[in-house]
Structures are given as structure tokens and as C-alpha cells.
A and B are shown apart, each in its own frame.
Chain A
Amino acid sequence: MAEVHLPTTEFEEADAAHGNQHGVTDEPNADAEPMVSLLSVEGELTRDETYSPYLDALSAEELLSFYSDMATVRRFDQEATALQRQGELAMWVPMTGQEGAQIGSGRASKPADYIFPTYREHGVALTRGLDLSLLLRQFRGVSNAGWDPRETNFHMYTLVLAAQTLHAVGYAMGMARDVAAGLAEAAATIAYFGDGASSEGDVHESMVFAASYQAPVVFFCQNNRWAISVPFEVQSKVPLVRRAGGYGFPGIRVDGNDVLAVYAVTQWALEHARSGKGPVLIEADTYRLGAHTTADDPTKYRDRAQEDAWRLKDPLLRLEKYLRSLGLADDEFFAKVSAVGDELAAHVRAAVVTMSAKDIGASFANVYATAHPLIAEESAWQRAYEASFADAEGVAE
């Protein structure tokens, strides 16, 4: 077998010790790079001059709801995975492990902000008030989208990696124009993308355009360490957050499993963007605990030990510890949260089995917004073709 040639890294010496199957370390320089982290794994909150004030402003109810959002979306994620296993979905893209990054950033957004997700931001969808059952329409194959983005300012999922980052910048440029023309209140977009997608040219071009036009956009990279089977180190030799400096805007690395830090950092970034100071890059350090999709098998490319290590940094566990230590939440609260999750799961399960596709006629209908002779011709032909079978059956009877 030919030797697999991987990009070299400055960290190769550490590889052997790490036992990573790819021969590269799983955390290049991770410890050296500053990272905003407010809530420790033990559930202890530290103060930060810049970011703590955002948390000071939170009520007890809001703090509790951060937890319930994370727990609810995790429950949803389990249900969707189960639905896939039972054949109700063609595929599912689990997000478990990334609740802190998604709920924290989503909760920082305002209704007027516009969100461009990838395909894994189920937690962000929850914070935007989207009926999560709609997320399943795409994975059931009854729609290529699933919802009208204008209702929640939460865009459709984009499956072509990084393409949406440019849309987010253009949309933000439009927002800034509207604000300048007195047509809208200040708002921003959030462009989500992954560590793998960060290598796509569109991410580069989106950052160039955003910087050039001072667009009110927050680039939110969930570095979950893996792009399917390829570890982050193949994408970049340095933490992604450092790229921001090259484009001339601020970059913040945040503990993605610390929902409070993510919330505060995203608040700061959105305020920065909305106030006309231009884009911000946030790199959220997190981990995809599950498979890439239900079709993936992580045992082929990563060690169980790595997953176990990240389980200890679970975003829910540490917030639970913190809430209990403050006396804000007791067993009764957690039981209630769990019941809310079960309720959502039941709703999603009930909704999904009723989701059916319209016939192909509906697919003809939206190719163009206006009349189109080829669409008219082909759809008429297709209808007649289908009808010919019905006629034939009629004759036979």
C-alpha cells in the first residue's frame, strides 16, 4: 500500500504520544492560543472584564433557559437519530456535543439579525423559534429546504460547504445599506461554518468582502475538530481565529462547550458588527461527539479515548453544576426540562410521519418564478404520461 502523505505539521513529535491514527496531533497549539472560557468544567464561573457584563445582565430565568434549550435540542437530536434508524429519515446530521456553541450563539442573536446556518445548526434553529420538526423535511426527502426563512430570519440549510458565508456577507451589506437609508434598525448576520469548510475558497472571499465593505457579519466557526474523517490539523496549521488578523478584523477564540462564554462573546461580536465596526470571526472550540451523519462510522478514524475526553467537557454538565451550585435549579427543574424534551420529541415524531411529498408537478412549479415554455412543455408531457397509465388501468377494469 502506498504511503499516505499528509501535510506536515510542526507538532509531529507529539504524534506518537497522542496516538492519533492520522499521525498528526489533535490539538495543535490549542493550549497556547488564548481562549475565552468563563464557566469551568467544574461549573465555576470566572470574571472577565469584557464579557462578564453580558452575563450579569441575564436573569435567573434566562440562565435556566440556556440549560433547557441545550437539553431540549439534545433530546431532539436523539429523536431524529432514532427516526433515521427506524427508516423515517434518509439521513440525519447529529449535533450532540455542540449545544454550547449553538445555543450560546443563537441566543445572542436578535430577531432582526439573519442567520445563515450550515446543515448542523439544529440548536440555533431552536433559539430562532423554528418548529424543529421542519428541519426533518429535508432529511426525509420531502423538501430541499423545509421552512420559509423569512419567518424566523433563519436561512435554509446549505449543503455546499461555505457557499452560505458569501450570502451572509451580501445580506449584511444589504442590511448596512438599509440602515444608512433609514429603512431598518441596525442588525447583523451570522455565518456559520465548520473547521473543514474553513478551507473552502468561499470562506476566504467572504472575509475579504466583509472586511472591504465593513459588513455587519459575525463569522461563527464551530471547530468541532473533524470534517467527516479528516482532523482539523489537515485544514490549518494554526488556530483559525488567527486568520481574522490577516483580514483586518477581530477574532475571538471561545470555549464552544461553555454556553455562557459563547453567549457573551457572540453578544460582543454582534454589537460590534451592528454598530458599523465591521465583521468579527469567532472560533468556537468544540467537538462532534457523534458521527458525522448517520451514515458515518467514526471508529474508522478516531479513538474512543478522544471522545471520552470530550465527554468530560460536556456543555450541559457544567451548566447543570453551576445552576445547582447557585441553588437556581433542583431535581424538579431537571425533570421538567426532560419532560419538555420528551414532548418536543413526541411532536417531532408525530409530525414527521405525516410529512409526504407532493408529486413532481410541484417540483416543476418553482424552478422559475415566472412562466417558462420548457417547464410548461415538460410538465404537461409528464402529466399526460402519468395519466396514460391511469387511462390504461381504467380500460382494464
Chain B
Amino acid sequence: MTMAKAINAGLRATLANNPKSLLMGEDIGDLGGVYRVTEGLKKEFGAHRVMDTPLAESGIVGTAIGLALRGYQPICEIQFDGFVFPAFNQITTQLAKMHSRSEGNLHVPVVIRIPYGGGIGSIEHHSESPEALFAHTAGLRIITPSTPADAYWMIQQAVECPDPVIFFEPKRRYWLKGDVDTETAGQDPFTASVVRAGTDATVVAYGPLVPVALSAAEAAAADGHSVEVIDLRSLSPIDFDTIEASVKKTGRLIVAHEAPTFGGLGGEIAARISERCFYSLEAPAIRVGGFHMPYPIAKVEESYLPDIDRILEALERAFAY
């Protein structure tokens, strides 16, 4: 099934199993969301569980916090990455801190789904990758699937988690197909996974860039380089143990994300792995990512987004040391 259908199925399972869960968002009811991720759910569970809210993102997250304080499990949809900012205050100053500032007395297990990333030829504000802004905020957990199977399980695990979780959905992979085993529970959502084994270099990617990293590894193999690929899955916390084990073996680290490299997660991973793997590194960690500019116009986004060649170029640099 496609990733969009897998998230839909995961949400359906959640709504069926957890009577306190409810979906909130813009156009998620009759329309099924602008990407149809919630298609059919309102019909199945009613407007009471699948709520088309007024058009106000701070309102969605702020009322979700109140519902959570009352014992409900709200799952909010932000329509596009670029429109999460009206809710930024509620997410960072309220949602992230409620458990901590209440000295552990209160829980706000709100889940916020955000379609993110570019590559869809869209107009501005529809292709952004703001994950670092949230990863920088303690109190939030941030996960992002790269396969339909992970999408199906991780959305349910996000709801089960007692902490607030931001669930970034790689929108250009909504139509990516894959097998989904709905019987065997998925891997711990806060761990990374080695999706291709290799010995010469490690490429860490997440969300939309995992298939790109895999293709790059395939191309590198043709040139005789064995590249290990890690799907990060969780952006906060980051499973540094898995990356460390890989880099200690390969001696080279490339981190790829669509978000701008400056101040991004790649820098954080590079710094921590440099500390942990200093004596194993054959080359400095190299970041592949977006440039320091507002997400560019669709006609040039191809030159902005990391692709197979950009990852191969980074690998070449790493191998040159």
C-alpha cells in the first residue's frame, strides 16, 4: 500500500482502539485532507472523532493541549509544513513544557502530523523542512517514517507515547508503495535502522531522502564502494548509538537532509559523531542539504534538493581523504 494509505490505516486502527483519540485539522473531514491521508475516516468514525476545525493553527494545537489535559488524545494535522508557524508558540512554549513545568504532574500526549519537504513543484510555503526548529526544543519527540510499513506503525506509536510527538510525513513519498505487515508490531519508533549494510562509508538520511540515499549507495556500489545507509526515523531523540556503531566500522559519515545545512540536524550529528568516533574517522563528517535561502521557487528546486549526485559527490570527497 502507499504511505498515505498506510498512515490512513494507522489512524483508523488508533481511532478504533483508543476511544479517547480524535483527529483535528483543516479539511480533514469530508475532503479527507488535502493529501487524502484521512480519507473515509470521518465517514467511519463521525465528525465527533474527525473534526474539521476552524482555520487557525494556534487554535488547533492550543485546544488540543486543553483536550489532552482533560484526558483526550488529539492527533492534529497541520495542512503544510510552512503553515505550522502560527502554532509555533503553542508547540514550543506550551506543549513542549507542560510536563516539565508541572513537575511531572500533567501529561499532554498531543500528536502533530505535518506533511513536509519539497520535490513536488509547489508554490512557496509548501515544501519546507522545519524539523530542526522543533528538534531544538526540549520536551518534544520528533519522528519521520520513510516507508509505508514504518508510517503505519509509527503513527500509532506516536499516539501511544505519553510525550508530545511531532510526526513529519515526507509528502513527496505519500505515493511510495511498500508492504505493510499489520500483525507484527513495528520497531521502537525512537531508534534508527540500518537499511543497507556497507563497510566504506555511512550515509544517514531520513524521511524523503532515504530512497535517495539508497539509490546513491547502489550507484556507489557500481564504483566499488560499499556504503551503509541509516534511516534515522527519530529526529529527537537521535539514536546516536546506531550511527556510532556504523561509523566506527566505516570511518566515514555523510548526513543528508532537505533542510538547510546551517544550524540543521546534520551539524548536530556530525559534532556528536566526531566526539564519539574521532579515532575511527578517515574523513570529516560531511553534510548534504539545502542552502541558506528561503525554500526556492519550484523551477529551481531540483538544484536545491539533495539528490543522488549530491550524495555521491559528498562520498567522493569523503573517500578523497
Contact = CB atoms under 8 A, between A and B. Distances in A.
A340 to B, nearest CB: 29
A167 B93 CA distance: 13
A89 interface: no
A171 B66 contact: yes
Contacts of A201: 58, 86
A117 B215 CA distance: 55
B67 interface: yes
A209 B59 contact: yes
A374 interface: yes
A167 B141 CA distance: 21
Contacts of A169: 62-63, 66
A372 B240 CA distance: 12
A367 B100 contact: yes
Given A369-B163, A370-B163, A168 B66 contact: yes
A166 B66 contact: yes
B69 A167 contact: yes
Contact of A373 (B72, B100, B105, B237): B237
B292 interface: no
A372 B101 contact: no
A368 B59 contact: no
A144 B72 contact: no
Given A370-B163, A373-B239, A170 B63 contact: yes
A36 interface: no
A201 B85 CA distance: 13
B102 A170 contact: no
B172 interface: no
B56 interface: yes
Contacts of B61: 166
A175 B163 CA distance: 22
Contacts of B70: 170-171, 173-175, 178
B139 interface: yes
Interface in A148-185: 148-150, 155-156, 158, 160, 163, 165-175, 177-178
A170 B239 contact: no
Contacts of B86: 201
A156 B65 CA distance: 14
Q: How many residues of B sit at the interface, in one of the four size bands?
A: 35 or more
A366 B97 CA distance: 9
Q: How many residues of A sit at the interface, in one of the four size bands?
A: 35 or more
A208 B54 contact: yes
A42 interface: no
Contact of B94 (A148, A160, A172): A160
B59 A208 contact: yes
A177 B49 CA distance: 11
B53 interface: yes
Nearest to B102: A145
A166 B62 CA distance: 5
A206 interface: yes
Given A202-B58, A209-B63, A368-B139, A163 B89 contact: yes
A174 B56 contact: no
A156 B104 CA distance: 12
Residue from the set A163, A170, A368 with the largest chain B CB neighbour count within 10 Å: A170
Residue from the set B53, B54, B63, B238 with the largest chain A CB neighbour count within 10 Å: B63
Given A145-B103, A150-B105, A209 B54 contact: yes
Contacts of B239: 373
Contacts of B102: 145, 148-149, 156, 366
B106 interface: yes
Contacts of A295: none
A171 B59 contact: no
Contact of A205 (B54, B103, B104, B241): B54
B93 A163 contact: yes
B64 interface: yes
B99 A366 contact: yes
A276 B252 CA distance: 63
A68 B103 CA distance: 32
Interface in B80-131: 86, 89-90, 93-94, 97, 99-107
Nearest to B101: A144
A174 B71 contact: yes
Nearest to A147: B105
Contact of A366 (B69, B100, B237): B100
A384 B124 CA distance: 48
B276 to A, nearest CB: 11
Given A174-B71, A174-B72, A370-B163, A160 B65 contact: no
Contacts of A165: 62
20 contacts: A145-B101, A160-B93, A163-B89, A167-B69, A168-B66, A170-B64, A171-B70, A172-B66, A173-B63, A173-B67, A174-B72, A202-B59, A202-B89, A205-B56, A209-B63, A212-B53, A368-B139, A368-B163, A369-B99, A374-B236
Given A155-B69, A171-B67, A369-B163, 10 more contacts: A143-B103, A144-B97, A167-B65, A167-B66, A169-B62, A169-B63, A170-B70, A365-B104, A372-B237, A373-B241
Q: Nearest 8 CB-CB pairs, A to B?
A: A170-B66, A166-B62, A174-B70, A170-B63, A205-B59, A144-B101, A171-B66, A167-B66
